[in-house]
Amino acid sequence: MSSIDDNTTIKLGELEKNIIKNSLDDDGKLSCIKAFSVAKKIGHKLSDISAITKSMGVRITDCELGVFGKLDFSPLDKNIYDDLEKNYQKKKKLDCEIYWDEAKKYTLRKVGSTVKNSSFEVINCQLGCFREKKGKKNGS
């Protein structure tokens, strides 16, 4: 999956690079959830993180909403699903940020499980990883 701004170059100091390197998992990847924290620590916009990590040869993994990575998700939560349908007039493609806002009422993992196991889709990753998911959902 390529980042939104593949041609963006953001220069980092050694301290910033070390913060990112120290946040990597055992496979040398940066989880979605840690990427949010890293952005704050290094003082960059969320939307720049994909370009930053890509320039360092680091991949972002384990999207909290299930778009990419290998996180395990529970079945969808019917209450969350119904709220999403009601609140967004049955739109099925919503910005990542909207789902994160919805997670303030529930939890990110419950919202992610509902999105992953329903007809809802995530667009416009806050980290800059994608604008719109391409391909088939749940192997169908």
Residue 27 lies in a domain: yes
Can you give the pTM of this predicted structure?
0.84
Q: How far is CA 17 from CA 22, 24, 42, 127, 129, in A?
A: 9, 11, 9, 17, 19
pLDDT at 138: 47
Residue 98 lies in a domain: no
Residue 28 lies in a domain: yes
User: Of 114, 107, 112, 134, nearest to 123 (Cα)?
Assistant: 134
Residue span of the structural domain in which 31 resides: 14-61
pLDDT at 132: 80
Residue 20 lies in a domain: yes
Residue 19 lies in a domain: yes
Number of domains in the chain: 1
Tokens of 118: 């329903």
H helix or E strand, kind and range, residue 60: strand 60-61
Residue 106 lies in a domain: no
Residue 41 lies in a domain: yes
Q: What is the full per-residue pLDDT of the chain (140 aa) written as tens digits?
A: 445 555 667 888 999 999 999 999 999 999 999 999 999 999 999 999 999 999 999 999 999 999 999 999 999 999 999 999 999 987 999 999 999 999 999 999 999 999 999 999 999 999 999 988 555 454 43
pLDDT at 11: 84
pLDDT at 9: 72
DSSP-based three-state secondary structure for 18:
helix
Residue 31 lies in a domain: yes
pLDDT at 38: 97
